Structure 1
Amino acid sequence: MNAPDLSCATDLPADRSACAARDAADPLARFRAAFDLPEGLIYLDGNSLGPLPRAAATRIEAVVRQEWGAGLIRSWNDAGWIDLPGRVGDRIAGLIGAAPGSVTAGDSTSINLYKALNAALSLMPQPTGRSVILSDTGNFPTDLYVAQGLCAASGGRLHLRTVAPEALAGSVDGDTAVVMATHVDFRTGRMHDMQAVTRAAHAAGAAMVWDLAHSAGAVPLDLAASGAECAVGCGYKYLNGGPGAPAFIYVRPDLQDRVPPALSGWMGHAAPFDFTPDYRPAAGIRRQQVGTPPILSLSALDAALEVWADVDMAALRRKSLALSDLFIALVERDCAGFGLRLVTPRDHGQRGSQASFACPADLGGGYPVMQALIDAGVIGDFRAPDLLRFGFTPLYLRHVDVWDAVDRLRQILETRRWDDPRFHARAAVT
């Protein structure tokens, strides 16, 4: 299925200078200056943690020293802290094809997924025979864990069923209450057809919940057109909001006042500062808020999102595919004979913004290869059991970076530099 195909080799740049020429003509090249990138480092891990936007560092200093330091509690009103979840949510809405007022930011992806699953389940008529949360085996583990916990708490009423990713749309049936899927597979980069899977869910009478963690800021999205009931995603990957940045939750506008909040927290109350003893949910997406907004991290994410106001998402997608096409072709040409096997779809319609290669056992299963590559100044990541994973973030990544990254990978494989014992020692985070 993924046998090497070098039919595009004639389009490969002849040398590094040809890559530099492509970069000189790149309409997105100016955005690289918006990021504080370490000199000499090639960063191919923005699909795990985005780099530091210069605007975020400036904003955090201002929030700490001026808004918190001088403004103190007055900044909830004077600096607009109280409105940050909605303001950040609206910025994200513009990137995922959602209407203003349909997204709020805060909490983690896992917490928001729990809320989204509960919201979707609440739309099922009661009593109902629908008892299945349907997902796929390529879904991110935490999503499956959250669904497993929800099923356990249901006392046997709900069950999680997983199928192969390519079988997801065809597996929705009359027992399915909710289809839960991650749009882009975190391991392989395989991308679901959002419209087709959502249509299949709705045709069978089920609700749809999407996880956009590896999609938002990476591929063009039209969430509103899909008709999906709910979606979630994180702020620290392609959105560059910083480690542990707040996540987001989307609820379709026509459903927002119908779904009860799974976590009836203070900030989701209709009038939190009335301090009444009984909960009354706020109108709209704000009822999905729970606790006090994390102002420092929300401010960093808010600043990081400013760059997107001027980004052409179609141009971003074209460059993403060009970079990943180049990387795949160069690896298969220059690293041939070492057993690396592409697991990412070649088809542009099925590929997110990453490329993953499986490593054979005689390369240590991949982990030491990645550690040696990181030591050589190319940061990607390893995903068990044997994947070298590389993310392509067009706002700051260049064609020369791809050329240089593959050249360093080739050298590491040819010299067996990866077999140094220090590269075999497993760290806590891979």
Structure 2
Amino acid sequence: MSEHLAQRAAALDAADELAGARKLFALDDAVYLDGNSLGALPAHVPDRVADVVRRQWGELRIRSWDESGWWTAPERIGDRIASLVGAAPGQIVVGDSTSVNVFKAVVGAVRLQDDPARTDVLVDATTFPTDGYIAESAARMTGRRIVPVDPADLVSVIGPSTAAVLLNHVDYRSGRLHDLPALTAAIHDAGALAVWDLCHSAGALPVGLDEHGVDLAVGCTYKYLNGGPGSPAYIYVAERHQAAFDSPLPGWNSHTDPFAMTPGFEPADGAVRGRVGTPDILSMLALEASLDVWDGVSVDAVRAKSLALTDFFLECVETYVPQGRVTCLTPGKHAERGSQIALRCEDAPRVMRELITRGVIGDLRRPDVLRFGFTPLYVGFADVERAARVLSEVLAEA
């Protein structure tokens, strides 16, 4: 049976329209299934970063703010990300961390409402912990109440007291994909604003921010966008909200005339209102270089391959792994699946350590979840078959 699956994997790789993208990354012989935590390094980025350091910073020095385009990088790179998440130009600005941008977005959404009767901020009860911490703090600071809610129960909970809702597009632990179009519509039907966290979906599947009327969104760039460890995050402010968007972190970079250095704050037009302080140029330009791997790539093709990879992984696991040794937490339905597979497993910490020792790199969510992220630009079907086979070997030894 293993020979049959290996042959199928080879045939699938031979027919893969995205297979050529793998050579754009600096990879070794390991099976890297942790791109949902840190994307692999695009091979050309070190030389680009070296130019930023040696020539732009080392030779041009302060002139690079103009001559090398440093000053406009947050908007320029934001427009490149916009094309990957279904947004028109001028609505995304890059900078700060995801956590900081969640704070801007939640407070900004409450201020856009400007309605004291809307007392509640709803937050995904299964959210990545920091999103919950930030949302709770934002609610306190705006005099609102935080209400944790399971996304499956949102429609029954949301109502006239809801100001804003913060949801994850894909659950970080299970890989469940939430229905962004339907949930956004339900939020709007209740008169509230929708804030989406795209950390586990941008670069892995179509998002459609403009098409589905999302109000605000945030996301990181170091997972499926391969921007590098700690690369700057981004915030999306829909064009219809930009004139009224009141950021809780006004800084000189978001001033309409930043170099006037006036004591009073006058917000700039457009998405620039999402900026705060001096951009982190080295990591930002590394991110810009990383986005080159997306040139000519269709997000729809990425999504199709992602589903094929995860389907094949589940088939291989079912074939190789003895029944009852792992339980899949990720939904089987394509419409409910992101680009990762989460398996509950007894003795998961030991299993993941041994997998990594044998060249299959996934990650662990304590106490008992093995996570495997599938980045279609550089993960192939032979990788998938090998990962499942090694997993079965490790479990057999246990």
- The bucket for the TM-score relative to the shorter chain is over 0.9
Deviation, structure 1 residue 13:
8.2
Q: For the Cα contact (< 8 Å) 1:36–1:54, is it kept in 2? A: yes
What is the distance in 1 between the residues matched to 2:380 and 2:300?
17
Please say which of residues 270-279 and 297-306 is displaced more in the overlay: 270-279
Q: Which residue pairs with 1:405 in the alignment?
A: 387
- Match of residue 315, structure 2, among 329, 336, 359: 329
- Match of residue 84, structure 2, among 54, 75, 95: 95
What is the distance in 2 between the residues matched to 1:243 and 1:13?
38
Q: Which residue pairs with 1:37 in the alignment?
A: 27
Alignment map for 1:267-282 (pairs within 5 Å): 267-282=253-268
Q: Deviations over 1:329-381 (max 9, x none)?
A: 11122112352000100000010000001113xxx2x1111111011111100
What is the distance in 2 between the residues matched to 1:63 and 1:169?
49
Q: Which residue pairs with 1:391 in the alignment?
A: 373
Deviation, structure 1 residue 160:
1.2
- Match of residue 70, structure 2, among 81, 84, 101: 81
Q: Which residue pairs with 2:215 in the alignment?
A: 229
Secondary structure in 2 aligned to 1:98? coil
Q: Which residue pairs with 2:8 in the alignment?
A: 18
- Which residue type is aligned with residue 200 of structure 2? H
Q: Which residue pairs with 1:292 in the alignment?
A: 278
- Match of residue 130, structure 2, among 110, 130, 142: 142
1:114 aligns with 2:100: no
1:347 aligns with 2:336: no
Q: Which residue pairs with 1:56 in the alignment?
A: 45
- Which residue type is aligned with residue 380 of structure 2? R
What is the distance in 2 between the residues matched to 1:172 and 1:221?
23
What is the distance in 2 between the residues matched to 1:183 and 1:219?
10
Structure 2: runs of 5+ lacking an equivalent: none
Secondary structure in 1 aligned to 2:295? helix
- TM-score between the two structures when normalised by the length of structure 1: 0.90
Q: For the Cα contact (< 8 Å) 2:220–2:231, is it kept in 1? A: yes
What is the distance in 1 between the residues matched to 2:305 and 2:107?
37
What is the distance in 1 between the residues matched to 2:43 and 2:355?
26
Secondary structure in 2 aligned to 1:226? coil
Q: For the Cα contact (< 8 Å) 2:25–2:42, is it kept in 1? A: yes
Q: Deviations over 1:360-413 (max 9, x none)?
A: 3xxx2x111111101111110001231100000000000000011111111111
What is the distance in 1 between the residues matched to 2:339 and 2:251?
36
Deviation, structure 1 residue 176:
0.9
What is the distance in 2 between the residues matched to 1:357 and 1:349?
19
Q: Which residue pairs with 1:421 in the alignment?
A: none
Q: Which residue pairs with 2:174 in the alignment?
A: 188
Deviation, structure 1 residue 87:
0.7
Deviation, structure 1 residue 15:
3.1
Q: For the Cα contact (< 8 Å) 2:5–2:316, is it kept in 1? A: no
Structure 1: runs of 5+ lacking an equivalent: 1-8, 417-430
Please say which of residues 231-240 and 47-56 is displaced more in the overlay: 47-56
Q: For the Cα contact (< 8 Å) 1:135–1:168, is it kept in 2? A: no
Q: Deviations over 1:99-143 (max 9, x none)?
A: 1000000000000010011111112133x2111111222211110
What is the distance in 1 between the residues matched to 2:322 and 2:164?
43
- Which residue type is aligned with residue 167 of structure 1? D
- Match of residue 198, structure 2, among 192, 207, 212: 212
- TM-score between the two structures when normalised by the length of structure 2: 0.97
Deviation, structure 1 residue 64:
0.5
What is the distance in 2 between the residues matched to 1:293 and 1:399?
39
- Which residue type is aligned with residue 277 of structure 2? G
What is the distance in 1 between the residues matched to 2:161 and 2:340?
34
Q: 1:33 to 1:169 in 2, by over 3 A?
A: farther
Q: For the Cα contact (< 8 Å) 2:313–2:384, is it kept in 1? A: yes
- Which residue type is aligned with residue 71 of structure 2? I
- How big is the alpha-carbon RMSD for the aligned residues of Structure 1 and Structure 2? 1.4
- Which residue type is aligned with residue 227 of structure 2? G
Deviation, structure 1 residue 69:
0.8
What is the distance in 1 between the residues matched to 2:312 and 2:299?
20
- Which residue type is aligned with residue 260 of structure 2? D
Q: Which residue pairs with 1:244 in the alignment?
A: 230
Q: For the Cα contact (< 8 Å) 1:266–1:272, is it kept in 2? A: yes
What is the distance in 2 between the residues matched to 1:164 and 1:210?
14
Q: For the Cα contact (< 8 Å) 2:123–2:135, is it kept in 1? A: no
- Match of residue 152, structure 1, among 140, 146, 151: 140
Deviation, structure 1 residue 257:
1.2
Q: For the Cα contact (< 8 Å) 2:210–2:238, is it kept in 1? A: yes
Q: Deviations over 1:64-111 (max 9, x none)?
A: 111011111110111010010001100000000011000000000000
Deviation, structure 1 residue 302:
0.4
Please say which of residues 258-267 and 41-50 is displaced more in the overlay: 258-267
Q: Which residue pairs with 2:118 in the alignment?
A: 130
Q: Which residue pairs with 1:373 in the alignment?
A: 355
Q: For the Cα contact (< 8 Å) 1:122–1:260, is it kept in 2? A: yes
Deviation, structure 1 residue 309:
2.3
